[in-house]
Structure 1
Amino acid sequence: MRSTGFEYDVVVAGAGPVGTVLACELRRAGVSVLMLERRAGPDATSRGWAGSMGPLAFEVLDRLGLGEPVLAAEERTLAEYERMFAAWARAAGQDGASPSEPKEHFGGLERIDPARRTSPERRRVRLEQPVLQDLLWRHADELGVVLHREHEVVGVEQDEECVAVTVSTQGRTYRLRTQYLVGCDGTTSTVRGLAGFDFPGTDPSMTGRVAVVELAEDARLTPGVHFTPEGAYVYGLGLNRLTTAEFGSGPPAEDRPLTREEMQDSIRRVSGRPVTLANFTSGIRWTDPARQASEYRRGRVLLCGDAAHMYAPVGGQGLNVGLTDAANLGWKLAAQVHRWAPSGLLDSYRGERHPVAERLLQNTKAQIALIRSDPQSSALRELFDELFELDDVHRLIADMLAGMDVRYPLGSAHPLVGTLIGDAELSVATDDSGATGKTRLATLFDGRGVLVDLRAGSAVSAAAAPWAARVRRTAATAIGPVARTDADALLLRPDGCVAWALPPDAPFHAAQLRTALASWFGEPGTTEEARSADRQGVIHTS
């Protein structure tokens, strides 16, 4: 038991990707974390879900130190995709064919060219969700996150000082006290219901099914998205993944698992062909409700990821939004636990992330409208197909799907402030002697903010010295895409958001930087706290 009287500072309900990333962010910031997962092991149905993540999600993982293992796993995934395509090409009599450059889709229209969006170097990473989840669990374990499986939250009571969580496991219940409880337990969130969050929105209007399958040898489905009078189907986006979408009736009862027979009947209805599924590995149903919690925080209970918002899983946006939710909340909640958070910091989580999810619900509802099989939706698809030829339209939708349009309203006219920065190469010194070296911006994030000083010998780093325990100071001579044409100095929050920027060649006013530092990182720490941070690895460069 900790001296605070709490078993753990924070309890996270749900050990999926969002809950695990949140737990890692908190643990890296020195917060004790317990994850409670109701399942005994990995979700067997997750193999049918996300096969990729958007650039913002990858950048969250890169700042956590997982960039290299994620990219290595992507190489293995892409090799499997190529093997699958080669097998299909042989069966279709197109031996020797090679897959075309991948396009992303909006409403089933495979027209989105990532090269035509803002910052195309910030790309989607292709990785099956079970592989990602395994990487995250191992990283959480290395950080010291405690995970209890087959432990389900069944009761929540809170007052001004703590949350009492009742947990059920293997026929018994127990209670534990924590400073904060975060529900990362998905669209059917128990925490959301127990804590009394409302969840307004629209009901489902269609039934989707997705499964990992193998087709019989005489079955021929061309990879890609296909629209038919009965709905739509997608085959081969990743592993042997088959998806169907049917309209006109509500979803069947979800208390029974999806079977091979049900999936086979669905693809036969939608495709109009006698498709036989030779093997059925796993599968789930999906549908299109659009709901969002009005609040993301009620006292000491918070929601994150799908527990806070529910939407149709189209466009490959789920991990991008969910992991960015976790990164935004993690450092703010850690600051609250450590008692240095400035007023309103924790509530800024809802202020910044709620509009992003609102935008997500809007675009997924629009995509479902495009997928429908009625004549009006077919005409709408034809119109959108033409609109994608316009560069501005193409860029707007491509940026929206990738999260490149996210900018938090931080009250600055500088174009970088409020945006989530991508990775960049820095030319810095490794110590006070001024020796030069190269590193990546993502590697500087260690749970603290980062102040990047592009003015050699300027007073920028000195002005931030009292915050050294909370902000890592780095002087650099170059910063890749964010060159001197954009800014001479940047203050970055732990979630990668640009909190302050010094315009090129503008006079430096220390008071403005200190105001930004105090707004996001509270009043300065003690002198000893700053010296301790220096000893723990703040980079001083020429």
Structure 2
Amino acid sequence: MSDFAQDVVIVGAGPVGLFLACELGLAGCSVLVLEREPEPGTPWRQAPLGMRGLSATSVEAFHRRGMLHPLLTESGIDDYSGADDEPVAPRGVGHFGGMVLDPAKVDLAALPFRFPSPAMDGVLTNLEAVESVLAERAAKLGVEIRRGVTVDAIEQYEGSVVVHAGEHEYAARWLVGCDGGRSAVRRLAGFEFVGTEPQLTGYVMLATVADPDELSPGINLTPTGMYIRLPAERYIGMMDFDGGAFDRSRPPARDHLQAVLRRVSGTDVTLTDVQLASSFTDRAMRTTTYRRGRVLLAGDAAHVHSPLGGQGLNLGLGDAMNLGWKLAATVHGHAPDGLLDTFTHERNPVAASVLDWSRAQVAVMRPDPHAQAIQGVVRDLLATRDGTTYAFERMSGASIRHDLGSERPLVGRNAPDFLLEDDTRLGDLTQDGLGVVLDFSTDRRLHDSALRWESRLRYAAGAAKNDLGLGAVLVRPDGIVAWAGDRDFDRKAFERAVSRWFGAPES
């Protein structure tokens, strides 16, 4: 006998699982989230150990669901550089393989389809802040989170899946594993996990240094590895090219951490005290499919890689945004054939690209003459305006374009924040998680067509302050442009596009 009968059970109450729960709850699905950890707050989720960078694309997702201001508040940010009138240069770009990039060299004019928006820049936050905002939103949407639950078995049936956790079982129509790189759901459901083995062991710690002047602050790429020091936070991060040989089944001891720090920094620095420490590797793996029957994966459960470039959380949030509306449409029975399978089709190539981006950084950091020679060339390229802009596109998510079978350059991309003449933004129209039709035509040509899908689409008509020369745009609930028409567009082409993504009309 099951404890619950839900539309969807999500395993994992991290940012990805919670964001997905919010998307499903917003769409009217019944959702239960199971989390192994008994309490939400730990030092590993708080600053500085829990610090994470949200890309501009991820910040846009929070903006489109009305969660940007709560996120900024929880993150302690009161000077966010989002703008309503003109694009602004990013405050930070980050680094590529330890080579810090200059945000002033980003060519804003070269970025594809970038409009002024309240969400223009990345955000430096922490996991606790992100999860707090999402958990509060999930609760308001009727999502239940049950903590202290360890999943130990999964059974799939024709129309349901049952999750076993000790003496309890939880039945649902669908199960999504958002339970991290060591995902129990991935293992129990038999997903294939392929990729490359580690080249390095990384460490993060809170530690006191006896001779702090020995270590330079910030990111430091050295001939033997890399270290990061945030003096005010006692935070130290390191990457040691040992082939991933450190035994991660045990926490690293002070003497070992000190030896690694001396090796990668080239100093005789002494650690007098280590409060917390953990290790990781650059193992780069991903699943070959994101779905097996009624079980799906998202976030680190579907792909793991090194934290270089800060792409992991953003990749996972993109998974959640992509999957949420598709799974909800499937639950409600109006999804067109094959809609749920587009989750793998669209997100797996993005994951492959991120894994290669991570591998490339590791390759130029290796402490051997060949890698060091390549590093010099890459450093010169990244010092140019074009090189910095290219890196920013990759790290911000601006370069992502799903293959939706259209030659139009806007289709498949994250939609720019179109601003209508009445000052309504696209971001204002996406709060309820529906698709959006922007009809720029003077005769409101799409009004009657859009009404045929009125419970799945929000219709907005009027001239835009920048319409890119288009007559209309169809935006999916995840913010991806599904169709774009010229000023003399064919209404039938629009209806075919809507049917492809939103199913048969209601009338």
The normalised TM-score by structure 1 is 0.84
Aligned-partner Cα distance in 2 for 1:78–1:252: 41
For residue 43 of structure 2, what is the aligned residue in structure 1?
A: 44
Change (3 A) 1:389 1:270: closer
Opposite residue 454 of structure 2, the aligned amino acid is A
Report how far residue 247 of structure 1 moved.
0.9
Superposition map of 1:163-182 within 5 A:
163-168=161-166, 173-182=167-176
Larger mean Cα displacement after TM superposition, 373-382 or 113-122: 113-122
Out of 457, 476, 484, which is 2:462 matched to?
476
| Partner of residue 458 from structure 1, selected from 444, 460, 471 | 444
**1:116 Cα deviation from its structure 2 partner:** 2.7
Give the C-alpha shift of residue 313 in structure 1. 0.9
Q: Tell me the residue number matched to 2:473.
A: 490
Contact 2:99 2:221 in 1 (8 A): no
Tell me if structure 2 keeps the 8 A contact 1:418–1:498: yes
Q: Does 1:116 align with 2:115?
A: no
Partner Cα separation in structure 2 for residue 348 and residue 459 of structure 1: 29
Look up the SS of the partner of 2:262 in the other structure. Answer: helix
Residue 519 of structure 1 and its aligned partner are, at CA, apart by: 0.5
- Is 2:500 the partner of 1:519? yes
Kindly provide the CA deviation profile for residues 308-342 of structure 1, in whole angstroms up to 9, marking residues without a partner as x. Answer: 11111110111221101100000000000000000
Secondary structure class of the residue paired with 1:182: strand
Q: Contact between 1:55 and 1:320, CA under 8 Å: does it hold in 2?
A: no
Aligned with 2:7 (options 4, 9, 33): 9
Query: 1:279 Cα deviation (Å)?
Result: 5.8
Q: How far did residue 476 of structure 1 move? A: 3.2
Is the contact between residue 177 and residue 295 of structure 2 (CA under 8 Å) also seen in structure 1?
yes
Distance of aligned partners of 1:486 and 1:393 in 2 relative to their CA distance in 1, 3 Å threshold:
farther
Tell me by how many angstroms 1:486 deviates.
3.9
Report the residue type matching 2:320 in the other structure. Answer: A
More divergent stretch after superposition (337-346 vs 316-325): 316-325
Provide structure 2 residue ranges, at least 5 long, that are not aligned to the other structure: 81-89
- Rounded Cα–Cα distance in structure 2 between residues aligned with 1:272 and 1:515: 63
Distance 1:338 1:409 in 2: 26
Letter in 1 for 2:127: Q
> Are 1:443 and 2:433 an aligned pair?
no
CA gap 1:240/1:29 in 2 versus in 1, 3 angstroms: farther
For 1:468 and 1:238, how far apart are their aligned partners in 2? Answer: 53
Matched-pair contact (CA < 8 Å) for 1:108–1:370: no
Q: What is the SS of the residue equivalent to 1:151?
A: coil
Code of the aligned partner of 1:502:
G
Instruction: After superposing the two structures, state which structure 1 stretch, 466-475 or 218-227, moved more.
Output: 218-227
- Note the alpha carbon deviations across 1:34-54, whole angstroms, 9 max, x for none: 000000123432342443111
Query: Aligned letter for 2:337?
Result: S
Give 1:63-212 correspondences, 5 Å limit.
63-76=64-77, 102-111=92-101, 113=103, 115-116=106-107, 118=111, 119=114, 122-168=120-166, 173-212=167-206
Cα distance change of structure 1 residues 455 and 260 upon mapping to structure 2, 3 Å threshold: farther
One-letter code of the match for 2:472?
A
From 334, 353, 358, the counterpart of 2:352: 358
1:34 aligns with 2:32: yes
CA apart distance, 1:418: 0.7
Unpaired stretches in structure 1, ≥5 consecutive residues: 80-99, 429-437, 527-542
Farther-moved stretch of structure 1 (247-256 vs 410-419):
247-256
Change in Cα spacing, 1:103 to 1:59, as seen in structure 2 (3 Å) is closer
CA contact 2:421–2:464 (8 Å) conserved in 1: yes
Contact 2:72 2:78 in 1 (8 A): no
Which whole-Å CA distance do the structure 2 matches of 1:514 and 1:450 have between them? 13
| 8 Å CA contact retained: 2:436, 2:474 | yes
Shift of 1:444: 1.4
Summarize the Cα distance change of 1:133–1:240 in structure 2 as closer, same or farther, 3 Å threshold. Answer: farther
- CA gap of 1:336–1:376, structure 2 versus 1, over 3 A, is same
In 1, Cα distance between equivalents of 2:37 and 2:294? 25
**How many angstroms does 1:249 deviate by?**
4.2
Do structure 1's residue 309 and structure 2's residue 308 form an aligned pair?
no
Q: Does 1:508 align with 2:489?
A: yes
Change (3 A) 1:33 1:101: closer
2:95 and 2:78 map into 1 onto residues whose CA distance is 20
SS at match of 2:239: strand
| 1:167/1:484 CA distance change after superposition, 3 Å | same
Change (3 A) 1:250 1:6: closer
Question: Post-superposition shift, 1:239?
Answer: 4.8
Cα separation, 1, equivalents of 2:421 and 2:115:
23
Q: What's the CA shift for 1:78? A: 7.8
What is the CA–CA distance in structure 2 between the aligned matches of 1:270 and 1:110, rounded to whole Å? Answer: 18
Q: Give me the TM-score of the superposition, normalised by structure 2.
A: 0.90
Match of 1:531 in 2: none
Question: Partners in 2 of 1:338 and 1:498 — Cα distance?
Answer: 23
Match of 1:24 among 22, 25, 28: 22
Deviation at 1:370, TM superposition (A): 1.4
1-side partners of 2:229 and 2:470: how far apart? 46
- Is the CA contact 2:304–2:312 (under 8 Å) kept in the aligned structure 1? no
Whether contact under 8 Å (1:451, 1:474) holds in the other structure is: yes
Output aligned runs, 1:162-311, within 5 Å: 162-168=160-166, 173-216=167-210, 218-236=212-230, 239-277=233-271, 280-311=274-305
Q: 1:28 to 1:318 in 2, by over 3 A?
A: same
Fraction of identical pairs, as percent: 39
